[in-house]
């Protein structure tokens, strides 16, 4: 019994050891199995970035869509147009803007007829007026230009870097309609800094907040990577982008002939000229002579010498205090920086005589300003004169000489805008018809209607419609283009010589009125093309500081000869002003400053220009707010 019991105990011990071994083996197998499962799971997991977050596949952002009803002057009827803008593709130092335009209307409009701006003699910007606006950087960019030697012309030739995919005999004859594919247009600009920009077009207005993406990051396909079969254009942005967005080199190759491209394949980038220019604003007081130019780094007040001083004198008049009190308000809140006060004269008498007069007038303005406001916050104050060396208007006319007699106060504005309570001036009496929004203003040149006023970044974007009359086919309803001095006015109401490629079909002087100020369209000093007529004009100018000013406004209204003889015909235009703190404004086409200085016969100018005013225009908030 003892033996049997011992045997059972021994057997039990063996079984326990065996079970322990089995459990150990099973645990090892389970551990190995778990490790294998973990390895498989690791292999099937999406890859992680350096921060341990899941890496997402890049999705091409949606384009900005503009839907507009336009009038076809050839067909004599309205049609709907859909334009999809962007996203913009950055490629190194450049950016490619894709635009798709389509219409289902039987009119079958040409791309050219909608966006064509025509070459300007002084500055061949592009066949099409398309500008890139960076609201955050406050800049405007033009389509890049390729400079190259041509076999057919002596000297330098130029070509705008833009190309098309679609149906048509030539780029500018691309056709859309129910029996045609949409037109795809691509233009090259300097790469923007911001992640979103705005595109200003002729006819259809502004595309707001167009996304900017990187070609390499988004893996955007080039034309060389796909078959060139565009009989069916992709309906979604992803499909279209998979059909190819041309590279800068491909656009150059498509727009040059073979021999030209082969000669500059390796050097074409050295021959591309891009232009990005800082935006500026200009405003005038409604009841004072004080006007103001806002630039990126500093602001300038312009005060009329004829208001501040009597003829040939540096003694301040009784009217000067009002001018200087308004100027003092603008200088309040300064946090350092520089203050410059500079006197300017016309060209009557000698330069030496006018030098002393300009200096004395600047000193008089400084002394009075120092009495009415605190100038100590400025780090540096400079007082001087420029005689007649820096005119802003033509010294050959009395109107121009009056503008040149001035004192400029240039200063570094405060980093943050200070809201000030400014006594609201009454509106001056309207020179022409005046109506309250939403009514339209009837003039002899057409019926003017404000379609919309939107805030986009620090800009107000206005859309205007003009209904023409049967047998009265004029595009002058938006133009301050009358007889005499008015016909010579350009941007800011200044002389037309200050506007590059001045055109009577450009909207220069439709202004926004608010709180005693008249705001002109936002503008910029144009950089002429290399070896262009515009550059030659600057080099040969008697005044070294002469520059060309171009407004952010419609540059190419339809000519009267293009307007159809139909009372239902209309055209649209866009104007961009600086934003102001308000819910509603007054919009007006009046007579420019150059005209209102010393003209005797205002009635004649009013009959020619046909001024109009629309009050209580409400503000809409843009999509970025």
> What confidence tens digit (pLDDT) does each residue in 94-112 have?
999 999 999 888 877 888 8
Q: Secondary structure of the chain: what % helix, strand, coil (to 5)?
A: 25, 35, 40
DSSP H/E element including 23: helix 2-44
d(CA 474, CA 558): 9
430 or 400: which leads in pLDDT: 430
Greater pLDDT, 424 or 507: 507
3-class state of residue 460 by DSSP:
strand
Instruction: Give the least confident one: 32-46, 338-352, 365-379.
Output: 32-46
Alpha helical stretches, state H, 116-208? none
Domains of the chain: 64-278 (no CATH), 296-411 (3.30.1330.60), 434-621 (no CATH)
- Least confident interval from 373-382, 517-526, 601-610: 601-610
Confidence of residue 425 (pLDDT cuts 50, 70, 90): low
d(C-alpha 354, C-alpha 350), whole Å:
6
Rounded alpha-carbon distances, angstroms, from residue 546 to 287, 359, 593: 29, 22, 19
Q: What DSSP state is assigned to residue 204?
A: T
Nearest C-alpha neighbor of 231 from the set 162, 179, 289, 287: 179
The pLDDT value given to residue 276 = 94
> What does the pLDDT look like over 506-565, one tens digit per residue?
888 899 999 889 999 999 988 777 766 667 666 665 555 557 888 999 988 877 666 666
Give the span between the Cα atoms of 496 and 609, in whole angstroms. Answer: 16
Residue 335 confidence (pLDDT):
81
CA distances from 69 to 105, 374, 569, 614 (A): 11, 55, 12, 23
Look at residue 537 in the predicted model and tell me its pLDDT: 67
Three-state SS string across 301-328, please?
Answer: EEEEHHHHECCCCCCECCCHHHHHHHHH
Beta strands in 52-195 (DSSP E): 64-72, 77-85, 88-91, 94-102, 130-134, 139-149, 156-160, 162-165, 183-190
Query: At residue 476, does pLDDT exceed 70?
Result: yes
CA dist., res. 290 & res. 47, Å (int) = 63
Distances in Å between the Cα of 449 and the Cα atoms of 442, 482, 530, 591, 619 are 9, 21, 40, 19, 15
Lowest mean pLDDT among 290-294, 330-334, 471-475: 471-475
Nearest residue to 237 (alpha-carbon basis) of 102, 97, 84, 101: 84
Give the dihedral of Cα atoms 332, 336, 338, 342; nearest 10 deg. 20
Q: The pTM is what? A: 0.83
């Amino acid at each position: 019994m003892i033996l049997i019991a011992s045997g059972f105990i021994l057997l039990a011990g063996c079984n326990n050891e065996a079970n322990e071994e089995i459990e150990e083996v099973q645990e090892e197998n389970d551990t190995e199995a778990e490790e294998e499962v973990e390895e498989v799971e690791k292999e099937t997991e999406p890859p992680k970035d350096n921060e341990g977050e899941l890496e997402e596949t890049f999705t091409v952002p949606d384009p900005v869509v503009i839907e507009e009803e336009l009038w076809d002057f050839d067909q004599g009827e309205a049609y709907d147009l859909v334009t999809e803008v962007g996203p913009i593709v950055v490629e190194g130092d450049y950016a490619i803007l894709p635009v798709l335009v389509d219409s289902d209307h039987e009119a079958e409009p040409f791309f050219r007829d909608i966006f064509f701006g025509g070459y300007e003699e002084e500055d061949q910007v592009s066949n099409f007026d398309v500008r890139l606006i960076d609201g955050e950087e406050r800049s405007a960019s033009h389509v890049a230009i390729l400079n190259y030697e041509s076999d057919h012309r002596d000297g330098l030739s130029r070509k705008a870097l833009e190309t098309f995919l679609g149906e048509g005999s030539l780029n500018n004859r691309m056709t859309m309609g129910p029996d045609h594919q949409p037109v795809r247009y691509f233009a090259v600009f300097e790469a923007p800094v911001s992640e979103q920009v705005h595109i200003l077009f002729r006819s259809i207005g502004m595309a707001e907040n167009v996304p900017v993406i990187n070609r390499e990051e988004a893996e955007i396909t080039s034309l060389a990577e796909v078959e060139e079969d565009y009989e069916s254009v992709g309906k979604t942005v992803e499909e279209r982008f998979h059909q190819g967005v041309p590279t800068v080199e491909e656009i150059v190759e498509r727009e040059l002939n073979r021999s030209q491209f082969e000669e500059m394949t390796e050097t074409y980038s050295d021959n591309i000229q891009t232009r990005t220019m800082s935006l500026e604003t200009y405003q005038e007081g409604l009841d004072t002579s004080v006007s103001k130019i806002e630039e990126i780094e500093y602001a300038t007040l312009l005060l009329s010498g004829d208001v501040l001083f009597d003829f040939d004198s540096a003694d301040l008049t009784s009217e000067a205090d009002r001018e200087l009190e308004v100027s003092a308000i603008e200088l309040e809140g300064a946090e350092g920086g520089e203050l410059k006060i500079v006197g300017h004269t016309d060209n009557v008498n000698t330069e030496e005589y006018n030098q002393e007069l300009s200096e004395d007038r600047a000193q008089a303005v400084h002394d009075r300003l120092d009495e009415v406001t605190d100038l100590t916050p400025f780090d540096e104050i400079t007082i001087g004169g420029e005689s007649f060396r820096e005119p802003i208007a033509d010294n050959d006319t009395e109107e121009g000489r009056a503008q040149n007699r001035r004192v400029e106060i240039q200063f570094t504005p405060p980093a943050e805008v200070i809201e000030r309570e400014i006594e609201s001036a009454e509106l001056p009496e309207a020179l022409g018809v005046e109506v309250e929004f939403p009514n339209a203003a009837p003039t002899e040149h057409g019926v003017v209607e404000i379609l919309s006023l939107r805030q986009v970044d620090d800009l107000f974007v206005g859309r205007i419609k003009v209904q023409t009359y049967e047998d009265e086919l004029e595009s002058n309803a938006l133009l301050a283009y009358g007889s005499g001095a008015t016909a010579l006015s350009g941007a800011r109401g200044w002389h037309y010589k200050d506007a590059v490629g001045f055109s009577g079909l450009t909207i220069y002087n439709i202004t926004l009125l608010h709180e005693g100020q008249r705001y002109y369209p936002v503008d910029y000093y144009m950089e002429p093309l290399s070896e262009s007529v515009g550059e030659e004009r600057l080099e040969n100018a008697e005044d070294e500081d002469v520059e060309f000013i171009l407004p952010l406004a419609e540059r190419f209204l339809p000519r009267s000869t293009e307007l159809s003889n139909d009372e239902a015909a209309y055209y649209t235009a866009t104007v961009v002003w600086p934003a102001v703190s308000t819910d509603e404004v007054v919009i007006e086409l009046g007579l420019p400053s150059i005209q209102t200085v010393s003209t005797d016969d205002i009635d004649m100018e009013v009959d020619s220009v046909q001024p109009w005013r629309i009050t209580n225009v409400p503000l809409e908030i843009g999509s970025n707010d």
